[in-house]
Structure 1
Amino acid sequence: MITGILLEVILPIFILIGFGVLMQRAFQLDLYTLAKINFYYITPAAVFMSMYESEMSPELLGTVVLFYTIYVLILYLIGRFTSKRLKFTRGMQAAFTNSLILDNSGNYGLPVNDLAFRGDPMAGSVQALIMSLQSLLTFTYGVISIQGAKTEGLYRQALIGFLKMPVPYALILGLVLHALYVPLPEFVLRPLIYADQSLVAIALLTLGAQIMKYPLRLHRKEVYLSVLLRLLAAPAIGIGVVLVLGMKGIPAQALIIASGMPVGVNTSILAEEYQNEPDFAAQTVLLSTILNVFTITGLITLAKLVA
């Protein structure tokens, strides 16, 4: 199990991040353009496809949504309380809270889920829904919180900015077409599939380039605090919510494992897009992903014992 995770999940991720680092060093990539590609094309296509192809019963869907709502709300309260106690700036408060509630449930969580459950369709559906909810959260609260911070709390402007984002519309459209069983013509479906399949590579290459621009600074205590809460407090909350809801079996195990993902790449992409603490965001993503090598292996074992 441990060897499989290291060779089939962790190593490919770090190879892609490494390529991003090397390409940034050699060519000085345009990070703004990379962020735009992720933000306006790759991610919306991936979210649409995950909703359009989703397979889950209404009952399980409702339970997963309830779990995720409680889980994120607790993390949000922890993030806000901690950042206010430490007297962070408005922009840093938004970045710190985002680092706790926006995790890497897609390009990291999906392959971890697939390996841990040997491709079980139920576990895969749960993880796909978590990824979709995470994307919705990222491009609603994540965007609005940063824009609100950048506009000195003028949330009307932030809301207008959010309404210009493509991901929420992609999510709703995917759900509607799925519910109505609307077939897509091949000339529409094929570009969406290509974009969806490129998500992992493009996002991680972008992260590698950002890491090269914002190298790890070991003296930043707020980075350590964020990573500690993300990798230890978040899965503890996930286990607690699963137990309170009385969930058992594969869905419960999948949710516990999903709660232990590192800080999401989208956190760094958002920070770069809006120039809000991109240095902090890139470092939390890097450090949490490195340390997740150790925490996720233990969490997979624990999930099967608890649930």
Structure 2
Amino acid sequence: MTFLGLIFLQIITPILILIVIGGALQRKFAFNLRAISNLITYCLMPAAVFINVYKTEIEMQVLMQIIGYLIVFSLGLIVMAALVCKLLKLEKGDAATFKNGFSLMNSGNYGIPVSQLIFHANPLGISIQIIVMIFQNVLTYTYGLYNLIAATKSGLEILRELLRLPIIHALILGSLLNGFNVPIPSFIWLPIEHLSDAFLAIALLLLGAQLAQIELKAMINKMVIITSFGRLVIGPAVSLLFIYLFGLDGVVAQSLFIASSFPTSRNSSTLALEYDVKPDLAAQTVLFTTILSSLTVTVVVYVSTILFL
């Protein structure tokens, strides 16, 4: 078996199996997805964030490079999306959906599990993905919201929403305890570790359950194809350009490059539904990019091992 095939078999296939199981279970039992989502958001994901941040040491210079890269990379995607919308003369609803589909990535219940499988022996790679996820949350509830509503929330309201996210608290606490080398007693560490271990499987089951609710009809249309190409092909290409411009290498470059290849964020579909802006198109984009990413992410992981290892 080729190395590319091995990556697909060992990294992507386990993810697909869990997604399919989640979809099948949802079709049969119709779970309360909001309750499961709350379990992940307020319990399992913060535990995974805390564990990985606590165990990882990131130099301040490297952290600043990562944040600088993420800002420039995201601005690059935003500008490109705006230019494509003008070039195609998209109406407001299609333009908003395209911009979010192109710029917002599923860095949470897709990105972190992928990173856990790839970097299971290197917490730095997972911690970088956590930083990407938090940055994407900020981008979603600022730029993403701005695309969908005429008058977005005030800056103070957005800040309050972000500060309510448990992953922010877990990130800060994990960083402080790490920075001051505070030992954690085993009777506290073990429950957190068990919660962290549960995150990967339940997050992917939830993703499958969410995708099972998306209608397949009219999924393959021009806008879905254009957005998918932008998210899964153009996105990683732009990422690679900025990685070289920033002079990044090793695990940092590999993790950021892989992070750029993830499918469209499920939050883009949730927000589109909440504000009634092309919700069907947004949902179809999430589903189609997630399906195609099984191939494109495999290729990006393979290329990353050639370029950065």
Could you say if the C-alpha distance between residues 56 and 295 of structure 1 is closer, same or farther in structure 2, counting changes exceeding 3 Å? Answer: same
**Which of 40, 45, 50 in structure 2 is aligned with 1:43?**
45
Distance 2:28 2:268 in 1: 25
SS of structure 1 residue aligned to 2:113? coil
The separation in 2 between residues aligned to 1:237 and 1:55, in whole angstroms, is: 28
CA 1:138–1:298 in 2, change beyond 3 Å: closer, same or farther? closer
C-alpha distance after superposition, 1:69-117 (max 9, x if no partner)? 2212212333345457523339x72784265232443112332455xxx
Q: 2:112 aligns with which of 102, 106, 110?
A: 106
Paired residues of 1:35 and 1:269 also in contact (CA < 8 A): no
**AA partner of residue 8 (structure 2):** L
Relative distance call for 1:168 and 1:253 in structure 2 (3 A) is closer
Match of 2:198 in 1: 198
Equivalent position amino acid for 1:209 in 2: A
Query: 1:57-136, aligned counterparts within 5 Å?
Result: 57-82=59-84, 85-89=89-93, 93=96, 96-97=99-100, 100-104=103-107, 105-113=111-119, 119=121, 121=122, 124-125=123-124, 127-136=125-134
Question: Match for residue 294 of structure 1?
Answer: 295
CA-to-partner distance for each residue in 1:247-282, whole Å, 9 max, x for gaps?
Answer: 345543443333323334565677788887665555
* Residues 151-166 of structure 1: pairs in structure 2 closer than 5 A: 152-156=150-154, 157-166=157-166
What is the match of residue 10 of structure 2? Answer: 8
Moved more, 267-276 or 210-219: 267-276
Contact 1:231 1:295 in 2 (8 A): yes
Question: Helix, strand or coil: the match of 1:181?
Answer: coil
Aligned residue for 2:228?
227
Native 8 Å contact 1:214 1:282 kept in 2? yes
* Identity percentage of aligned residues: 29
Give, as a single letter, the amino acid of the residue that structure 1 aligns with 2:14: P
Residue aligning to 2:213: 213
1:139-167 residue CA offsets vs partner (Å, 9 max, x unmatched): 32323455566775241244433333222
2:136 — aligned with what? 138
Contact 2:100 2:144 in 1 (8 A): no
**1:292, CA displacement in angstroms?**
2.6
1:133 counterpart SS class: helix
The letter of the residue matching 1:45 is A
Instruction: Provide the TM-score with structure 2 as the length reference.
Output: 0.80
| SS of equivalent to 1:89 | helix
- Tell me how far 1:24 sits from its aligned partner: 1.1
Residue ranges of structure 1 left out of the alignment (5+ in a row): none
Query: What count of residue pairs does the alignment treat as equivalent?
Result: 298
Alignment deviations for residues 203-260 of structure 1 (CA, whole Å, 9 cap, x no partner): 1111111122113342443332222111111111111112212334554344333332
Residue type of the partner of 1:86? L
Q: 1:167 maps to which residue?
A: 167
Are residues 158 and 247 of structure 1, via their aligned partners in 2, closer, same or farther at CA, if it must alter by over 3 Å?
A: closer
Q: Which runs of 5+ in 2 are unaligned?
A: none
Which of residues 16, 19, 43 is equivalent to 1:17? 19
Contact 2:46 2:170 in 1 (8 A): yes
Aligned Cα root-mean-square deviation (Å): 3.2
Question: Equivalents in 2 of 1:98, 1:51: separation in Å?
Answer: 29
